[in-house]
Chains A and B, each alone.
Chain A
Amino acid sequence: MIEVAATPLQLSAPSLGALLFQFLNSFGFIILATVGLAIIFGMMGVINLAHGEFILIGVYGTALTYHAGVPLPLAMVAGVVVTTIFGVIVERTVVRHLYDRLLDSMVATWGLALVISQLLLIVFGSSLDSISTPMGSVSYGPFSSSIYRSIFLPIVAVAVLGGLYVLFTRTEFGVKARATIKDPETARAMGVDTDRMYVSTFAIGSALAGLTGALYAPALGSITPNRGSTFLVEAFVAVVVGGPSVIIGTLSASAVLSVFNATGSFFFGTFIGQMLLLLVAIVALRLLPDGITGYVKDWQQRRRAEQ
């Protein structure tokens, strides 16, 4: 269809507000969809194609506990715990054999994704009852936006990145973990239990996927065993556009991608928003083959060299 959006919104104070909220909505979503994948990929060199299904386990954990009568915040905690435990089991049985076998890890986790989503179908049936989005909406002019999706989730997303930054740069665990990733031999020689570091890092990645699932359980609409794919594409695109540095990469890639996605959807409709997100990713990869943070690092090094 050529006429994608019937009438583009007129620019005005309220409609700019709408654009801002749409951006925040998209920004929060991309960060949360990406962060678990980014940790596991960036720190361990494993591409987890079952990432969407990990998130889905968080969704199911939360929804099942919530429908059993537990208040939503507690149900979310349950979702995170379930996913973390699952992640540790997967690490011990499958992923530990796949470190530094990037491409094999893709195939193995693709198989895992099939197994998880089909088991969810067999055990829990076609769908779970949905959970309404909490917190209502904020109105301005003729428009309104969901407080949960456009204000709460973006704040949580940024807080999660902040927390990870502290964890990996300011704590003993973080230093050990990064040392293990960078040079496992030396780390082991220095007395670091590298095996435990791998499990912990994978557990953190899984917990973050679980958190994303828990947070989106009430914002996902239908809860069916196929919803994992909702998260996968955005997460992949953001990881590679972000580049090697996990936290800054996720933050900057999410910002860039959601600006294009939100303005595209806002002015031209959701189809253009989706296409822009993918096309920007292609162009970004071509111009910055090592992602945004790879480029920044490169640029810093060159500047240092010049000085």
Chain B
Amino acid sequence: MNSDRVSRRSVLAAAGTGLGMSVAGCSGSGGGSSGPTVGILEDRSGNFQLNGTSKWQATRLAIEEINENGGLLGEQIEIVDPDPQSDNSRYQELTERLILQDQVDALWAGYSSATREAIRPIINENEQLYFYTTQYEGGVCDNTIFPVGATARQQLGIVTPYLADEFGEDIYIIAADYNFGQLSGDWVNVLAQENGYNIIGEEYIPLDETDFSSVINRIQDEDPDFIMSMLVGANHENFYDQRATNGMEDIPIGTSTAMAQGHEHIRYDPPALTNVYAGVSYMEELGDLREGENFVEDFYDRWPDANYLNQEAQNNYFSVYLWAEAVREAETFDQEAVIEVLEEGQEVSAPSGELTLDGATHHMEHEMRVAEADEEHEISFTNNERIGPSFLREEVEGGAGCDLREEDKTTQYVPSDVYDV
């Protein structure tokens, strides 16, 4: 019944449940530990374990590196990292625990957008500094949340125009039938409006669907120049296999979801992913662009059994350093002070390049690139471009943008706030 970090309080709590009530006066504050503590809630079992595990591994790696190099402000950082098992209600409970009981100084949590939304009321209520690192639909403008992953506009913005220039302007959209997929579809529509592409088909597919034969027949009927695929999760991956079975690998696919997260190009035999172009900020194949560092090697040295070092894991990794730098500058772990430093805008040297945190929006200016898988699923990168969080910075609120330094906000903007989609 007890966690591995047995605190006085949890022992009392357990005793209380059993009603072995010895009325020992216990009250007051103080968490499970006195030193600086970091919370990591990443899925290592359940639906999202394939993506969550490497996020957890990379976060631990970064903190262990910092500890080995003398810690932060002279103190070793303690890690609290229970496994939320891809279960949103468990996430809610563990978030309460990490904030109230372990009193974490910063929190990294969650793969899916639904998870982020599930814990957001708790984050807001406690004003907890929280790094959400998954690439996501974008638009979250929230006081204490730093969504450092690339947004749909950044990812789709790099890959869609590239494919339209290369292959033609007739696009067929297939996406997962939930918030992320629908908003990503909206973003492709926005890009089509801006550049004059034609959306000739648009289809949203439930997350638990595994059979794509009707989807494939409809695509064949429309014969697009390329497909934009924002399919999500293990069930949807079957699309790529069925595409190869039906000999459709000559129709290129642009994506923001495949390869960089679930490493389908490794798990599937060619040619399932041939001619797939992903808009990414990072993939393992990119290596480490910093001088004299080798992130990939360090990662596999620490975690020899790891499957893949994905885009999200790199986000976790550099954002830990981003936070550590801000703590050093603030000379305190106090969350308010750290957020203030972060909001000044920070430069961080990440394996994916020299990145900038935009203080006003809490989002990153990422080095975006197109990753292409060839006949043998070898990855090559092209079309490197630096893209900032322009949607939040310049487009929302009638062009005024979201500026968290100026005003308090806990909202999420969507493309339809600005565009007619």
A–B contact, 8 Å CB criterion (strictly below)? yes
Q: With A and B bound together, what is the CA distance between A225 and B49 in angstroms?
A: 10
Top-3 shortest CB links A-B? A221-B238, A6-B201, A265-B214
Contact with A along B205-216 (1 / 0, CB 8 A): 110111101111
B220 touches A133 (CB 8 A): no
Tell whether A190 is near chain B: CB-to-CB under 8 Å.
Answer: no
Q: Which of A25, A129, A226 contacts B213 (CB 8 A)?
A: A25
**What residues of A have a CB within 8 angstroms of the CB of B202 in the complex?**
3, 6
Most chain A Cβ neighbours within 10 Å, of B45, B200, B241, B269: B241
Which A residues are within 8 Å of any B CB, using their own CB?
A: 1, 3-7, 9, 15, 18, 21-22, 25-26, 29, 118, 121, 125-133, 136-137, 139, 142-146, 148-150, 219-222, 224-227, 229-230, 262, 265-266, 269-271, 273-274
B50 touches A127 (CB 8 A): yes
Which B residues are within 8 Å of any A CB, using their own CB?
A: 45-47, 49-50, 53, 172, 177, 182, 200-206, 208-211, 213-218, 220-223, 234-242, 244-248, 262, 264, 266-269, 272, 305, 307
What's the minimum C-beta distance from B112 to chain A, rounded to whole angstroms? 14
**What residues of B have a CB within 8 angstroms of the CB of A143 in the complex?**
217, 220-221
How many cross-chain pairs have Cβ atoms below 8 Å apart between A and B?
Answer: 158
Q: Which of B204, B209, B220, B240 contacts A274 (CB 8 A)?
A: B209
Known interface pairs A127-B50, A144-B246, A220-B210; A4-B204 also in contact (CB < 8 Å): yes
List 14 contacting pairs A-B, 8 Å CB cutoff, sorted by A: A1-B182, A22-B214, A136-B245, A143-B217, A146-B246, A148-B245, A149-B242, A149-B245, A222-B237, A222-B262, A224-B50, A265-B211, A271-B205, A274-B209
Considering only CB atoms, which chain A residue lies closest to B181 in the complex?
A: A1
B268 touches A127 (CB 8 A): no
B215 touches A126 (CB 8 A): no
B213 touches A6 (CB 8 A): no
Known interface pairs A4-B203, A146-B242; A270-B234 also in contact (CB < 8 Å): no
B206 touches A222 (CB 8 A): no
A132 touches B238 (CB 8 A): no
B217 touches A18 (CB 8 A): yes
Q: With A and B bound together, what is the CA distance between A145 and B215 in angstroms?
A: 11
Q: With A and B bound together, what is the CA distance between A220 and B239 in angstroms?
A: 10
**What residues of A have a CB within 8 angstroms of the CB of B238 in the complex?**
219-222
Considering only CB atoms, which chain A residue lies closest to B235 in the complex?
A: A230
**What residues of B have a CB within 8 angstroms of the CB of A136 in the complex?**
245, 247
What's the minimum C-beta distance from B93 to chain A, rounded to whole angstroms? 19
A132 touches B244 (CB 8 A): yes
Considering only CB atoms, which chain B residue lies closest to A7 in the complex?
A: B201
Considering only CB atoms, which chain B residue lies closest to A142 in the complex?
A: B220
Q: With A and B bound together, what is the CA distance between A274 and B26 in angstroms?
A: 54
**What residues of B have a CB within 8 angstroms of the CB of A219 in the complex?**
238, 241
A126 touches B53 (CB 8 A): yes
Q: Which of B49, B53, B205, B245 contacts A146 (CB 8 A)?
A: B245
B245 touches A132 (CB 8 A): yes
A221 touches B210 (CB 8 A): yes
Q: With A and B bound together, what is the CA distance between A3 and B177 in angstroms?
A: 12
B47 touches A226 (CB 8 A): yes
Q: With A and B bound together, what is the CA distance between A16 and B269 in angstroms?
A: 32
A149 touches B268 (CB 8 A): no
A125 touches B217 (CB 8 A): no
Q: Which of B235, B268, B305 contacts A129 (CB 8 A)?
A: B268
**What residues of A have a CB within 8 angstroms of the CB of B217 in the complex?**
9, 15, 18, 22, 143, 145, 266
